[in-house]
Amino acid sequence: MSEQDIKQKIDQLSEELESHNYSYYVLSQPTISDYEFDMKLKELMELEAKYPQFAHDNSPTKRVGGDITKNFQTVMHDYPMLSLSNSYSKDEIVDFITRTEKLIEGKCVFVCELKYDGVAIGIKYRNGQFYQAVTRGDGQKGDDVSANVKTIRAVPLTLKPGDFPESFEIRGEIVLPKSKFEILNEEMRAKGEMTYANPRNTASGTLKLQDSSIVAKRGLDSFLYGIYSPTKMAQGHYESVLKAGSWGFKSPDPKKKMIAQCNTIDEIMDFINYWDLERAHLDFDIDGIVIKVDDYNQQEQLGYTAKSPRWAIAYKFKAEQAVTQLNKVTFQVGRTGAITPVANLEPVQLAGTTVKRASLHNADIIEKLDVRESDYVFVEKGGEIIPKIVGVDLGQRSPDSVPFEYAKVCPECGTKLIRREGEAQHYCPNETGCKPQIIGRIQHFISRRAMDIEGLGEETIVQLYNEGLIQSLVDLYRLEEGQLLPLERMAKKSVDNLLKGVEDSKKQPFERVLFALGIRYVGETVAKKLAKYFKSIDAIQQATLEQIEDVPEIGPVIALSVHEYLNNPIHQEQLNQLKEFGLQMEIHEDEKSSNSLNGYTFVISGVFENHSRDEIKALIEANGGKNVGSISGKTNYVVAGEGMGPSKRAKAEKLEIPIISESDLLEMIDQQ
């Protein structure tokens, strides 16, 4: 191919992929399979790597992410990014309409749209090309998060042909869909790490991640609707939203009743009441309805206050709330020693469920709310999922009430609690003598995603601890048949399976052993990165704090945790003993690995002839692929063995996901 041919091919693929991307993520009407899309994207990436001079600044390959941002540049907004005044009743909406129509001396047409519970964003375009994305910040200036916003598939990098201004800004909200939020929290729970509180905060935190490749995997979405430009391309807001949709933006859809023009208070209230019920069926959170004057000339006539426009107001939905008595505050001890205060409540119905307990998070939250035992408290479901205490009914507080005193010693072992500088939680430092910590660490060690020891479950770990047979991870490898057979529910076959599972675990690769140790902040992904970077436990132990921080995506908090753990004499002795028992403490260089599956996501189902499921998964990861547990539109391949479930097969076929065999997978690896 000549250079001219190559340039034309890159141009063609870029345009084609952007079109398919719009069909999938904005219209929800895919025009090709995920496999075909990925093949075209891979071809474009390869061409751009060889001929970077022809790559587009806003190429579809930019959505994969990969840029590292150490500091986010502060940018002044061209137009102030103000907040909205809030209302909570029909009377307040009536007052707003009356006041508005009095100020402009005439009737107004209003626009109602959803108030997305996300992160405000302003995105600038130049000549139809993505130029810059800036957060709200303080309303006058925000952070440049362009690299991260480029990874959001619903945000066009190149606009469709249209009558858009040469230079303009479009504003809207970045949201994390509920389905993506649940998947993310499932992954965190599986790693034994703290889950995220709600989609809104997670979206905000994701936008400020330094590695855009991680942002790309989170699955952020956006709705963009407010156009700002010196040149007005429409008479009013409603018309501009329709125009934005025609240019390629994911804007509120009138056909789905996400936006509507309203002429009367009754029409406005109908819109509000409709979404107060229907919001439960959305895959993203909304916390109200925004009502705006439609006509741009009327907006200019109404103007602004120092904080908000006079031509718009937000109606906030009331969160479902209940009042109940706080009987007692107890404390839970996690496997890392973290202490979590729990409110034990008089049972109360809330959002269709009976709530008996709510998290109080930490001492700062308790002090801020001034929560006391026997208080009557207001309980809401944070994100409509997790019960939380949001306030105290002081009118029902007893005159004898005394401020709550946070625990000073561990409720399990009596050790004095510590609180590290800069952290909100208290910790019990007695990791070798605190029962919940010991049991929790061993339960984590044997779990499926860690050492995956068959024949051992969480209840068995508790039983073995209570019988005095295990006090640490090392004790698992000292268990003998004679110790186990006398125990309740321990028949000969159960004991044989347990001991075989313990013995087989010695074959688990180093990265799994590292994750299984339960080092604070070291989940599966971090363990893999550390293992791949250092190759052995000895190398990590010998590394300085600064050298650990040099590992991509390992920040100072994680690095300090790893460094402190591996320099603790107790842990060093334990690791030496685990080495003696034959656990894998290094990566074997002769293990087959490549990048042949890089960028592909696999679901494994069924039983295979030549490899176990874990071996199949290890092969995929060793060659750059990613394993997930369930089939979705993001899955590239399903590797099917004997006994694949009919429901999984049907879902894969419906989504047009290729179903390949064990030998097909090996061919994919060998071809590279």
Structural contact between residues 285 and 117, judged by C-beta atoms closer than 8 angstroms: yes
- Cα(228)–Cα(226) distance, integer angstroms: 7
Q: What is the pLDDT of residue 312?
A: 95
The answer to whether 435-507 and 510-580 have equal CATH topology is yes
Closest alpha carbon to 116 in 377, 290, 370: 290
Distances in whole angstroms, Cα of residue 107 to Cα of each of 299, 312, 459, 484: 13, 15, 70, 84
Helix (H, G, I), strand (E, B) or coil at 463: helix
pLDDT exceeds cutoff 50 at 590? no
Q: What is the pLDDT of residue 65?
A: 63
Residue 6 phi, psi dihedral angles, 5° rounding: -65, -45
Q: Return the axis-axis angle of helices 3-25 and 34-50, rounded to nearest 10°.
A: 140
Is the whole model's pTM more than 0.85, yes or no?
Answer: no
Active-site residue list: 115
Kindly report, residue by residue over 434-455, the tens digit of the pLDDT. 999 999 999 999 998 899 998 8
CATH number of this structure's domain 435-507: 1.10.150.20
* Helical ranges in 68-222 per DSSP H: 90-104, 146-149, 178-190, 199-207, 212-218
Q: Which position has the higher pLDDT, 504 or 11?
A: 504
Strand 86-87 versus strand 119-126 pairing type: unpaired
CATH number of this structure's domain 601-670: 3.40.50.10190
- Please report, as a single letter, which amino acid is at residue 42: K
Kindly report, residue by residue over 531-549, the tens digit of the pLDDT. 988 999 999 999 999 999 9
- Please report, as a single letter, which amino acid is at residue 487: L
Could you write out the DSSP letters of every residue in 328-375?
EEEEEE-TT-BEEEEEEEEEEEETTEEEEEEE--SHHHHHHHT--TT-
pLDDT exceeds cutoff 70 at 592? no
Kindly report, residue by residue over 216-255, the tens digit of the pLDDT. 889 999 999 999 988 888 999 999 999 999 999 999 999 9
Q: What is the domain partition of the chain in residue ranges?
A: 3-64, 76-316, 321-396, 435-507, 510-580, 601-670
The reply to whether CATH 3.30.565.10 applies to domain 76-316 is no
Structural contact between residues 437 and 336, judged by C-beta atoms closer than 8 angstroms: yes
CATH architecture of 321-396: Beta Barrel (2.40)
The encoded tokens of residue 662 equal 């064990």
The encoded tokens of residue 274 equal 């409709």
CATH architecture of 3-64: Orthogonal Bundle (1.10)
CATH architecture of 510-580: Orthogonal Bundle (1.10)
Highest averaged pLDDT of the listed ranges 169-173, 233-237, 320-324, 360-364:
169-173
Q: What is the pLDDT of residue 139?
A: 82
